[in-house]
Amino acid sequence: MSKTNLSKTRKTAAITCVRNDTLFLKRWIAYYGSLFGHTNLYVFIDGFDQPLPDLHDKVNIIRIPHRPIARVPAMRRRARTVSNLARAIFPYYDAVIALDVDEFLVPDPARYEGLNDFIARAQGRATLSGLGLDVAQHRTLERPLDHAQPFLGQRRFAQVSTRYTKPALAFRPVTWGSGFHRIKGRNFHIAPDFYLFHFGMVDQDLSKQKTEDKDRLKSGWGGHLTRRAELFDVIAETKAAEFSAETARSRRTQTYIRQLQAWNKPAMLNRISVVEIPERFFGIV
Range of the domain at 112: 10-281
According to the model, what pLDDT value does residue 7 have? 39
CB distance 133 to 162 below 8 Å: no
Q: Decide if 94 is inside a domain.
A: yes
One DSSP character per residue, 44-91 reads: EEE-TTSPPPTTTTTSEEEEE------HHHHHHHHHHHHHHHHHHHGG
Question: Which stretches of the chain score pLDDT less than 50?
Answer: 1-7, 217, 221
Whether 2 maps to a domain, the answer reads no
Inter-residue contact 190 to 251 (CB < 8 Å): yes
Q: Is residue 160 part of a domain?
A: yes
Euclidean distance between CA atoms 14 and 199, whole angstroms: 18
What is the per-residue pLDDT for 4? 45
* 223 domain residue, yes or no: yes
Contact 103, 166 (CB under 8 A): yes
- Quick one: pLDDT at residue 228? 73
Q: What is the CATH number of the domain that holds 163?
A: 3.90.550
Contacts of 184 (CB under 8 A, 6+ apart): 174, 175, 176, 177
CA angle 161, 165, 169 (to 5 degrees): 160
Triad 90, 255, 32: Cα angle to 5°: 35
The confidence score (pLDDT) of residue 2 equals 44
Residue 5 in any domain: the answer is: no
16 within some domain: yes
Q: Please report whether residue 238 resides in a domain.
A: yes
Residue 210 lies in a domain: yes
Number of domains in the chain: 1
Give the number of other CB atoms < 10 A from CB of residue 64. 14
